[in-house]
Amino acid sequence: MKRTLLLLTLLPAAAAWAQAPATPAPAGETPGKSILEADLEPPPGGYTYNPQGRRDPFVSLIRPVGPKGGNVRPQGLPGFLIQEVALKGVVKTQGGGLGPAAQAGYIAILQDTQGKSYFVNVGQRMFDGVIVAIDASSVSFRQEVTDPLSPVRTRDVRKTLYPSEEARQ
């Protein structure tokens, strides 16, 4: 009889213990959420930003980032920054060049970061600039400056066949 009575009194406590979480949740945290979710959740009565159709104030208006902002680079040479290519050679032409209107001059050989080579002529567009001149040992680029605080919008960059010459200039 005492065993039955003891069993009946302990049965509801055992059922509650089996349903309780293994570790108690800290104050303000609901059971079932991960620690990360609990950290990202605002405190009760705290401020939360609701855009209601307005723009995000932390996204740049000058050059939006991501696929919507147009920062997707094209394939090939037009997708490379000027600083990502190296001058590997210059070829003198006797006319014809790389296009029907090209005159006698030079064609430069640029190499990208993966080791792929490209033949380029004056006027070739890159992601952040354009080739403005090619001579026997160097290529000059006009790079577009993307710093919104800079008063200068373009700058000239010169790459030479011999990188030690770049340091001297």
Query: pTM of the predicted model, to two decimals?
Result: 0.53
Instruction: Round to whole Å and give the CA distance between 112 and 156.
Output: 20
Q: What is the pLDDT of residue 162?
A: 85
Q: Using alpha carbons, list the distances in angstroms from residue 138 to 23, 33, 42, 120, 156.
A: 69, 61, 58, 12, 13
CATH number at residue 141: 2.30.30
Q: What is the pLDDT of residue 28?
A: 52
Instruction: Round to whole Å and give the CA distance between 154 and 131.
Output: 13
Residue 132 forms part of a structural domain = yes
Residue 34 forms part of a structural domain = no
In sequence order, what are the beta bridge partners of 92? 106
Q: What SS3 state is found at 105? A: coil
How many structural domains is the chain composed of? 1
pLDDT in tens, the chain (169 residues): 555 544 455 555 555 555 555 555 555 555 566 776 666 676 777 777 777 878 777 766 776 554 444 567 889 999 999 999 999 999 998 865 555 555 568 999 999 989 999 999 999 999 999 999 999 999 999 999 888 888 888 999 999 998 776 566 5
Q: What is the pLDDT of residue 30?
A: 54
Residue 98 forms part of a structural domain = yes
**Structural domain boundaries, residue 92:** 76-168
